[in-house]
Amino acid sequence: MARRKVKAKQGGAPGGSRGEAAPKLDVDSRAEVLYADDEPSAFASMLGGLIEANVRSNAGKERDFDSLKARVGIWVTDIDEGVTLDFKGGHLVVHNGLKPRRKLTIRTDADTVMSLSNLKIGLFGLPVYYDEVGRGVAFKLLQGKLKIEGLLPNITTLNTVTRIFSVQ
C-alpha cells in the first residue's frame, strides 16, 4: 500500500475514499503527499516530490494546496505513462496511471509537462502565456499537442494546479 510522508504536521491520516484503500502514513506525521501504490512510478515520485517541494517553500502555493479538492490526471504521451493527482484539501494522493472521476486530464509530451511546470505566475495568480514558455504552451494547445479534458468548466482548478505545479 501507499507510503511516504512529506511534511511533519499535526493531524490524522487521511482516509481512503471512493472504495480505495487508505494510504498509510509515516508515524508522527500528517502526510501532505502520499503515494497510493507500493511502488510509485518514477513519474509519480517526481511529480509528488516536485509538488511537495513547491508547497513547502511557498506560502501562496501552500494556501492553494490546502484549498484544492480535485482529481487531476496527467498522461505523458511520449513515454506512455501517467499519474492521477488526487488533491484532498491539504494533502495529495498520487496514483500511478489514470484513475476514474478526474476533473481534469492533461495529455501531452514530456517536454510540455516540463514547460507547464515552468509557467510563470502573473497578475491575479494567473499563468503567464505571453512569455517564451507560455507562448510555447499555448501553441501546443492550439496544435492539439497539449490536450486538457474538462478545461472549460474547471479553468479555476487548472489555474490553481498550475500555480502549485509551477517552479517559477
Partner 1 sequence: MAVKAFSNEWAKAFKDEVNKSSVYKTAGKGWKWTVGLVVEAEPANHFPEAKGIVMDLFDGEARDIKVGAASDAQKCDFVITAPYTRWKEVATNQLDATKGMLQGKLKLKGDLPTIVRYTKASQEMTLCTTRIPVEWPDEK
Q: Provide the binding-site residues for partner 1, judged by CB under 8 A.
A: 41-43, 45-46, 49-50, 53-54, 57, 76, 78-79, 81, 110-111, 113-115, 117-118, 167-168
Closest approach of Cβ 18 to partner 1, in Å? 27
Residue in 108, 134, 112 with CA at minimum distance from that of residue 121: 134
Q: 491520516: which residue's cell?
A: 13
Q: Residue 69, by phi and psi: left (phi above 0), alpha (psi -120 to 50) or beta?
A: beta
Minimum Å gap between C-beta 6 and partner 1 is 12
Q: Which is nearer to partner 1, 29 or 77 (CB)?
A: 77
CB of 15 to partner 1, least distance (A): 28
Please say which residue, 20 or 63, places its beta carbon nearer to partner 1.
Answer: 63
